[in-house]
Amino acid sequence: MDFITELSKIIAKAAELPAEEIAPAIETPADTKNGDFAFPCFRLAKTLRKAPPLIAQDIASKIEKPDFVTDIQVVNAYINFYVNKEDTVKSVVAGYIENGTEIFKSSLGEGKTVCIDYSSPNIAKPFHVGHLRSTVIGNALKNIYTALGYKVVGINHLGDWGTQFGKLIVAYKMWGDKETVERDDIKELSRIYVKFHEEAEKRPELNDEARSWLVKMQEGDKEALDLWKWFCDISMKEFNRIYDRLGITFDSYAGESFYNDKMQAAVDEIREKGLLTTSEGAQIVDLEKYNMPPCLILRSDGGTLYPTRDISAALYRKETYDFYKCLYITALDQNLHFAQWFKVLELMGYDWAADSLVHIPFGLVSLGDGKLSTRKGHVVLMEDILNQAVEKALTIIEEKNPDLENKEKVAEDVGIGAVIFDDMFNSRIKNIVFDLDRMLNFEGETGPYVQYTHARACNILKRNAFDTLAKDIDYSLISDEASVALCKAIGDMGDKIKEAADKNEPYIVSRQLIEVCKQFNRFYNGKNIMQCEENEKKARLALVCETKDCIKFGLGLLGINAPESM
């Protein structure tokens, strides 16, 4: 039974309002003292021209209490509903037995496409911890939207075109050699790239040389393009190694270079619509009216820029995928960039731009000593971070469970899971300080804690098989407080997934997972299942089984594996 739907019908009848307006307003109070569900009456004050507490009393007095409701109380402007505990448990567990993890999904997004532009590292530059955030947040949102029935297109908008290639060609010709690049791949490319910047400070003419190589690339010069292609291949090898470890795939790898032959049309259109002006030789769209610096479209030498490629890409994606939303996951230091070119599209007359293009910014990552950067050479490679996390996980496993089978594989899942979970444990916009001790604390609010709880549930089920087809469960045997609280935590998961998509905040799922784990551990430690009589054991095992699947499903949304023992 869906309590919210049922309650909204009952309230609607008493208040003489449409049920569709009631349902979205029903809340689940954080403290169950205030009921299992609450309906706040503030919003009705305007239409009913009465004080909210009076409205609450008035509606409550007219409500016909259904069987599943044990009590209705009015507190100020709230009408609080207390649901029969057995009914609560039954709705959560019977739903699961019937439909498995489908209960966490929805068809909300049916018929709608969401494009997600994430990860998008730059070729020939290291994949650093900042890119990790975009990668894992984007991947989680992809899974979350998919669970809600949206069609999702995951796009890796690779930074595979632009000034850095001119610089890299100059650097390679001056200081590079084929063998070293082939051996050390991005490490070597970024070494010579950093050297270019150091040298160019002393010899600015190097920048002119770099620009002329970029022009050659744009003109289709074979030598330039062969080098460019080679740099791309070398970088992709490294990126793919990381994606494989994270278990991440993309539907499209159309990077910036993909738009080379599409930009002219976009630039022409901007010009035809009278938006282009010349400023210091460059072609720009003036955004002074909107309190923003101008959006650069063409450089004085005719070269295109980052925003030009983004505008072109958005038009292409709209045409190709007819998206309902297109999300861009990057660090918050790109806020202005997105605000500028979103505005340009709007000025071009594309009404969809304002609503459907969404920048999803996130905070910076530091290792405790300031912002990470590639240009100055403090390069922190993603791979090193993952390796460290996995090594530490292995040490912990060796200590806790030396006889575990597949130790290496479990350590990989736990180490990487710890990094991913920590990344999405807070609102995206918060900065993150990398701290392996915190991430890998099995008793903290961490990935390993959630994975460990899952393994614990698996372990119980290994010793006591539960037949998921069992229909004859006596729900009164799991109507104690701890079981009800666990059921509520699991029962809320579906709504939390919707909320996570609504706010584009995967942490809402991570936090709910922690809540499920806490309630599960309370449930499990409170009563020894092995000692229960058969019927109670069966009912409790049903809940263990559902918890296990709920955790696995939730971790899966975040892109984290759930080992069965650890």
- Which residues of the shown chain bind ligand ARG in the complex (CB under 6 A)? 117, 120-122, 157, 159, 310, 328, 330
Please report which residue ranges of 29-113 form alpha helices under DSSP H.
Answer: 45-48, 52-62, 85-99
Nearer to ligand ARG, 159 or 166 (CB): 159
Active site annotation includes 167 = no
C-beta neighbour count of 264 within 10 angstroms = 12
Using CA atoms, how far apart are residues 566 and 552, in angstroms rounded to an integer? 14
314 CB-near residues (< 8 Å, 6+ apart): 326, 341, 345, 353, 357
Least spacing, CB of residue 334 vs ligand ARG, in Å: 7
Sequence-ordered alpha helix ranges (H) in 100-177:
129-147, 163-175
Cβ proximity to ligand ARG: between 122 and 308 the closer is 122
- Output the smallest distance, CB 31 to ligand ARG, in A: 42
Beta bridge partners of 153: 115
Dihedral of alpha carbons 273, 275, 276, 278, sign = positive
Residue nearest ligand ARG by beta-carbon distance: 159
- Both structure tokens of 317: 């994606």
Which is nearer to ligand ARG, 157 or 167 (by Cβ)? 157
- Active-site residue, selected from the candidate residues 125, 142, 454, 548: 125
Least separation in angstroms between CB 328 and ligand ARG: 5
Rounded CA-CA distance 451/411 in Å is 11
For the sheet containing 69-75, what is the strand order?
A: 37-40, 78-83, 69-75
Q: What DSSP designation does 119 have?
A: -
Closest of 168, 249, 263 to residue 213, by C-alpha: 168
Distance CA 221, CA 386 (A): 39
What letter does residue 374 receive in the DSSP assignment? Answer: S
Which of 345, 273, 277, 361 has its CA nearest to residue 311? 345
Q: Which residue has the tokens 């799922």?
A: 509
Residues 6+ apart with CB under 8 A from 233: none
Provide long-range contacts, Cβ within 8 A and 24+ apart, for 47-54. 52/76, 52/77, 53/77
According to DSSP, residue 290 is labeled: G
Count CB neighbours of 166 within 10 A: 26
Rounded to the nearest whole angstrom, what is the least distance from the CB of residue 150 to ligand ARG in the complex? 20
Asked about 125 being catalytic, the answer comes back as yes
Annotation marks residue 128 as catalytic: yes
Q: Which of 131, 318, 392, 454 is catalytic?
A: 131
Residues labelled catalytic? 125, 128, 131
